[in-house]
């Protein structure tokens, strides 16, 4: 009877406690000790600690980073591999309102759950460096860094359009608004100009763009950042308003088409609209503007929607030919991009063409080269200028240059670079976030609070909602908090906005380096040792915002002389999402997997019998298809969970979760267990030997093959699935062996250890070793062991495999050719046909005979 089977539930908690107690993965903070070894910084994007806890989708990110950290540690590096919590933010605040509890308590509860779940997976984090963005010890320094930005003039107040929900009395993020309504309650949302804190990220647009080149990031991700920054070069051109002394400026990337401009458009928010509108048109224009302002940018610029607009009754003068052209107001022009006004060239711009066709505005061809007549379709490609006076005959690129030069000489325009990137709206009218370390004097001047006053702690308030007169929740705080006496004796009122959730994550990777420093955000020497992050891993949903914001802050810190690298994250990989089967009825209602069953080849709900649609989609709480990591660990153990998440496919691929797949890696671990342990007795297997002189054996060769492949595949991170395949092959080979030298098994356990640390440690211990295998040295393979006396030559005729030939490894090309030509099976296919060509590819062990 099997009395001593592989029992992860017993060995895993034991070794987790041992690692914790002996501080196995604690990284020294002493710079002299650190300098004795090279460094490596592996960082998984820290989680937002929602109440839902950790699911296997999170683990798909953290497991490979942990394997890699283990691997580098065994290779002799000091490895920074920390974990913490992104804890400020709206979901927690909402839970706080719902459960009538302080968000700090909810955060505490959630982070505790997360940590326990992570510890059960056996991650090798240095937990002593754990950080929480919502505690004063941390956000003190977030505020401190904000003051550095403020001092550099990178933070400013501006009136910007925001999503305002009157029913809730608060501003909402774009993600929370759909079709003009708040997604959760359906309350209407309107666009409203509000005074907000902005960060001048656009001042760094060029550097954010250029420095992408030096990063080891996936090309696609860099491209996404480039698109987001959206640099375009062109010109600002000034138009005069006819019969008026007013002018307005447009930005265009196509100054070469200026002769084709047949109208201009102002954004509905443009200040000139009310000034130039003809009295006869005023009522129509006012109505249009009022309606347009409530639409989102996306609605307004969507190519699929019908263009709308209204004529102001005023005309502009085209600066290149003095032609009067009508000025319209249309919502497809945004106040936030460029100058809020455009010159419209319907012949050579799709949206202008659509608009001009709809309103009967003339369409003029100024670039020749389109396939269809210009009235039918705009031509946006390269061609030759026509109907353009001094540009005629020039190609687009030359014409652009010429036109800009002409505009400059006439003082009617200037070359201009425009970015799609907007300044960052940095304030929120919420409670659960960092208070700004700023105050307002009575006369309206803004003053920064001294560094020594930090942290500015969140005050207790009676309700997490805006005040009756529409001020942010912090305005509910006690007067003692709201009023502040400045060092010079003046009194001021504190800023009551808070920072957005992104703030804390903009620099957390730096705080890990020196998590408990009370004098500074981090020690400069430690920063110089550890930075940059060598390998940053996380979801593609952060490909733009978080990574752009963090890069921006980092560059500001660099300019302040506070960090030594221009970029924070040298290497980066996006993990694929984990998918799972979900069940949905005709009304779109989701069901849990246990509520569904298969009946007559159809999927139905157990309770009601209604038929259900199944689909494979991203794992998420709202789709009722989340697999909790704890459940998997209860059934199979953490090592199986870890192995399965890696074996399921490459790190970067999105793959569906299949319960049955876990079974496979679990069986592999059981087989591994039985190599060492006799399940009947619980003693060491009788097949184990102390033999040393076994270097000639097949098993020894398989071991070295495994060392080689596991080392290479682990190094690439993305191929850990094939590393596990090779380990399976090794265990299968070892299972068949009549005797097993302990030495071979011990070496193998090193390879397994980063992947399945608990079982590797237990078996290592059972084989009589002391200490932690996770801290021992990674083995290297011996190439000589892998070479053998004979090789298999692939013999092809006309590119088709016909036979495999066993030949001595040192056979010459001539000998290979001879052996192939005389081979009986090969002969069958070349018989009676003239041989045209023979190709021997010796490094591929292949010969191809062409007849």
Partner RNA sequence: GGUCGAGUGGUGGAAUCGGUAGACACAACGGACUUAAAAUCCGUCGCCUGUAAAAAGGUGUGAGGGUUCAAGUCCCUCCUCGACCA
Residue 648 CB, shortest distance to RNA, in Å, is 5
Residue 850 CB, shortest distance to RNA, in Å, is 4
The beta-strand segments (E) located in 514-653 are 535-539, 572-575, 578-584, 590-591, 596-599, 602-605, 613-618
Residue 820 CB, shortest distance to RNA, in Å, is 13
Residue 712 CB, shortest distance to RNA, in Å, is 9
What backbone phi and psi angles, to 5 degrees, belong to 490?
A: -70, 155
640: tokens are: 């199986």
Q: Is residue 382 within 8 Å of residue 348, measured between CB atoms?
A: no
Distance CA 610, CA 606 (A): 8
Q: Which residue do the tokens 């010969």 mark?
A: 847
Residue 5 CB, shortest distance to RNA, in Å, is 8
Closer residue to RNA in complex, CB, 13/649: 649
Residue 660 CB, shortest distance to RNA, in Å, is 3
Closer residue to RNA in complex, CB, 94/420: 420
- Angle CA 266–269–274, to nearest 5: 75
Distance CA 83, CA 461 (A): 31
Closer residue to RNA in complex, CB, 41/755: 755
3-state percent breakdown (helix, strand, coil) of the chain, nearest 5: 40, 20, 40
Q: Is residue 114 within 8 Å of residue 44, measured between CB atoms?
A: no
Facing residues of 164 across strands?
171, 190
Residue 658 CB, shortest distance to RNA, in Å, is 6
**DSSP code, position 494:** E
Closer residue to RNA in complex, CB, 98/844: 844
| CB within 8 Å of 6: residues ≥ 6 apart | 669, 670, 672, 673, 674, 677, 759
Closer residue to RNA in complex, CB, 156/829: 829
How many other C-beta atoms are found inside a 10 Å radius of the C-beta of residue 609?
9
Closer residue to RNA in complex, CB, 665/749: 665
Closer residue to RNA in complex, CB, 229/363: 229
302: tokens are: 């969507």
Cis check for the bond before 246: say yes or no (omega within 30 of 0): no
Q: Is residue 302 within 8 Å of residue 231, measured between CB atoms?
A: no
Closer residue to RNA in complex, CB, 408/634: 634
The H or E element that residue 660 is part of is helix 659-676
Closer residue to RNA in complex, CB, 83/221: 221
Residue 146 CB, shortest distance to RNA, in Å, is 25
Q: Which residue do the tokens 């109907």 mark?
A: 387
Q: Is 131 helix (H, G, I), strand (E, B) or coil?
A: strand
Residue 183 CB, shortest distance to RNA, in Å, is 16
Residue 721 CB, shortest distance to RNA, in Å, is 6
Distance CA 219, CA 572 (A): 11
| CB within 8 Å of 688: residues ≥ 6 apart | 676, 739, 740, 741, 742, 745
Residue 167 CB, shortest distance to RNA, in Å, is 27
C-alpha closest to that of 263 among 215, 205, 323, 210: 323
Closer residue to RNA in complex, CB, 70/721: 721
Residues at the site binding RNA, with contacts judged by CB under 7 A: 219-220, 223-224, 227-228, 298, 301-304, 420, 540-541, 543-544, 618, 647-650, 653-656, 658, 660-661, 663-665, 667-668, 670-671, 719, 721-722, 724-725, 728-729, 732, 735-736, 792, 794, 796, 798-802, 804, 825, 828, 837, 839, 841, 843-846, 848, 850
What radius of gyration, in Å, describes the C-alpha atoms of the chain? 34
Closer residue to RNA in complex, CB, 35/618: 618
């Amino acid at each position: 009877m099997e009395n001593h089977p592989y029992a992860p539930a017993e060995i895993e908690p034991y070794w987790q406690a041992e690692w914790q107690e002996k501080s196995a993965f604690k990284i020294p903070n002493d710079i002299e000790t650190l300098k004795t070894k090279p460094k490596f910084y592996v960082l998984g994007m820290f989680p937002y600690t929602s109440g839902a806890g950790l699911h296997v989708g999170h683990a798909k990110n953290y497991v490979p980073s942990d394997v890699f950290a283990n691997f580098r540690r065994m290779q002799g590096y000091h490895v920074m591999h920390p974990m913490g919590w992104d804890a400020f933010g709206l979901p927690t605040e909402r839970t706080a309102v719902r459960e009538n509890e302080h968000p700090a308590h909810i955060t505490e509860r959630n982070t505790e759950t997360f940590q326990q779940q992570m510890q059960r997976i056996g991650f090798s984090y240095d937990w002593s460096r754990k950080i929480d963005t919502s505690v004063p010890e941390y956000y003190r320094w977030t505020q401190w860094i904000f003051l550095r930005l403020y001092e550099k003039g990178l933070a400013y107040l501006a009136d910007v359009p925001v999503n305002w929900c009157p029913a809730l009395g608060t501003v909402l993020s774009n993600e929370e608004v759909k079709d003009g309504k708040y997604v959760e309650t359906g309350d209407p949302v309107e666009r409203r100009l509000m005074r907000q804190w902005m960060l001048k990220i656009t001042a760094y647009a060029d550097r954010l763009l250029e420095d992408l080149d030096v990063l080891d990031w996936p090309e696609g991700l860099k491209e996404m950042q480039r698109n987001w920054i959206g640099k375009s070069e062109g010109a600002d051109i000034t138009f005069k308003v006819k019969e008026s002394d007013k002018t307005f400026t447009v930005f265009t990337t196509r100054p070469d088409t200026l002769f084709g401009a047949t109208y201009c458009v102002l954004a509905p928010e443009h200040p000139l609209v009310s000034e130039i509108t003809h009295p006869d048109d005023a009522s129509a224009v006012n109505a249009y503007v009022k309606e347009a302002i409530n639409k989102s940018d996306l609605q307004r610029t969507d190519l699929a929607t019908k263009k709308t607009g209204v004529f102001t009754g005023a005309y502009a003068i085209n600066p290149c030919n003095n032609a009067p052209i009508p000025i319209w107001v249309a919502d497809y022009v945004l106040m936030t991009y460029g100058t809020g006004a455009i010159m419209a060239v319907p012949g050579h711009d799709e949206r202008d063409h659509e608009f001009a066709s709809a309103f009967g505005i003339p369409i003029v061809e100024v670039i020749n080269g389109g396939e269809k007549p210009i009235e039918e379709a705009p031509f946006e490609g390269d061609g030759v200028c026509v109907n353009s006076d001094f540009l005629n005959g020039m190609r687009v690129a030359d014409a652009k240059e010429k036109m800009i030069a002409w505009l400059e000489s006439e003082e009617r325009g200037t070359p201009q670079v425009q970015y799609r990137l907007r300044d960052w709206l940095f304030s929120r009218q919420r409670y659960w976030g960092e208070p700004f370390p700023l105050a307002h004097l009575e006369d309206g001047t803004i003053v920064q609070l001294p560094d020594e006053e930090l942290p500015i702690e969140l005050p207790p308030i009676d309700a997490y909602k805006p005040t009756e007169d529409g001020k942010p929740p912090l305005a509910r705080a006690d007067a003692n908090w709201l009023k502040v006496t400045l060092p010079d004796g003046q009194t001021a009122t504190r800023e009551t906005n808070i920072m957005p959730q992104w703030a804390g994550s903009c620099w957390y990777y730096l705080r890990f380096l020196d998590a408990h420093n009370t004098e500074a955000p981090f020690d400069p020497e430690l920063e110089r040792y550890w930075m940059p992050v060598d390998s940053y891993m996380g979801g593609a949903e952060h490909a733009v915002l978080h990574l752009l914001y963090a890069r921006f802050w980092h560059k500001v810190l660099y300019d302040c002389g506070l960090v030594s690298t221009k970029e924070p994250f040298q290497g980066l990989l996006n993990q694929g999402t984990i998918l799972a089967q979900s069940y949905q009825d005709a009304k779109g209602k989701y069901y849990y997997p246990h509520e569904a069953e298969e009946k007559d080849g159809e999927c139905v709900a157990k309770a009601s019998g209604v038929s259900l649609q199944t689909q494979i989609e991203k794992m998420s709480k709202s789709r009722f298809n989340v697999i909790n990591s704890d459940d998997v660990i209860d059934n199979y153990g953490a090592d199986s969970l870890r192995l399965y998440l890696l074996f399921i496919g490459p790190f970067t691929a999105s793959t569906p979760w299949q319960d049955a797949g876990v079974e496979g890696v679990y069986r592999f671990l059981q087989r591994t267990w039985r190599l060492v342990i006799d399940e009947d007795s619980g003693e060491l297997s009788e097949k184990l030997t102390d033999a040393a002189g076994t270097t000639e054996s097949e098993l020894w060769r398989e071991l070295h093959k495994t060392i080689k492949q596991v080392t290479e595949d682990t190094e690439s991170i993305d191929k850990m699935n094939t590393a596990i395949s090779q380990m399976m092959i090794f265990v299968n080979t070892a299972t068949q062996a009549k005797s097993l030298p302990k030495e071979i098994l011990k070496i193998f356990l090193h390879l397994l250890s980063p992947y399945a640390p608990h079982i590797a440690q237990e078996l290592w211990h059972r084989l009589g070793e002391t200490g932690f295998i996770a801290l021992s040295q990674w083995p290297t393979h011996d190439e000589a062991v892998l070479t053998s006396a004979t090789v298999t030559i692939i013999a092809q005729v006309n590119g088709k495999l016909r036979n495999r030939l066993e030949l001595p490894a040192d056979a010459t090309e001539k000998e290979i050719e001879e052996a192939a030509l005389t081979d009986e099976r090969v002969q069958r296919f070349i018989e009676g046909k003239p041989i045209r060509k023979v190709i021997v590819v010796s490094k591929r062990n292949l010969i191809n005979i062409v007849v």
